[in-house]
Amino acid sequence: GAKGGVNCDPKKMSQGELERLTRRYTSEIINMIGPEKDIPAPDLGTDSQIMAWIMDTYSVNRGYSVPGVVTGKPIAIGGSQGRRDATGRGVVFISLNTLKYLNRSIGNINVVVQGFGKVGSIVAKFSYIKKAKACKI
C-alpha cells in the first residue's frame, strides 16, 4: 500500500475547485491505481464524494464502470454499508480479541485514544459500548 495526496486545505475550496483538483489528481495517478494495483481509500480531508469523483474519472478513462478502483465511495454507487466506521471498529475488534487471548477483560482496562477524528471517535464510542473501565481522549 501507499499514500498520496495534494497539499491543500479542502475546507477552503469550493465544491467545483475540489472536484477539478480531485479529477486532475486522479488523471495524474491513473496508471498507478486500479482494482489489481493500488486502491485509493479515504483519509484526511477526503470523503465519499471525493472517492466517487476518483471512481468516475478512472471509469471514464477505462470506458466502463470500475467500482473496485476505490473504497469509501457512496453506497448508491457500490460502496459498503458501515465503511465509515470500519477502521475504528476494527481497532476495537482486534483489541478485544487480544484481551481475550491474554485472559483479560475490557472492564478492567483504561482505553486511551489519541484524537477524536474519523477513527478515534469510533474507537472511543465502541470502547464505551463494550464497557471499558475508562476511555480517555
DSSP calls for 10-31:
GGGS-HHHHHHHHHHHHHHHTT
Is 1 within a domain? no
Q: pLDDT (tens digit, 9 = 90+) per residue, 61-80?
A: 999 999 999 999 999 999 98
Is 126 within a domain? yes
CATH of residue 66's domain is 3.40.50.10860
- How many percent of the chain have pLDDT more than 70? 99
Active site residues: 3
3-state class (DSSP) for residue 69: helix
Is 113 within a domain? yes
Is 2 within a domain? no
Q: How confident is the model at residue 1 (pLDDT cuts 50, 70, 90)?
A: low
Range of the domain at 22: 10-77
Q: Tell me which residue of 68, 72, 67 sits closest to 84, measured CA to CA.
A: 72
Return the ∠ at Cα 68 (arms to 63 and 70), rounded to 5°: 100
- Distances from the Cα of 74 to the Cα of 18, 19, 62, 108, angstroms: 17, 16, 20, 38
Asked if residue 91 and residue 34 are part of one domain, the reply reads: no
Is 124 within a domain? yes
Is 59 within a domain? yes
Q: pLDDT (tens digit, 9 = 90+) per residue, 12-66?
A: 999 999 999 999 999 999 999 999 999 999 887 889 999 999 999 999 999 999 9
Q: How confident is the model at residue 119 (pLDDT cuts 50, 70, 90)?
A: confident
Asked if residue 127 and residue 108 are part of one domain, the reply reads: yes
pTM: 0.75
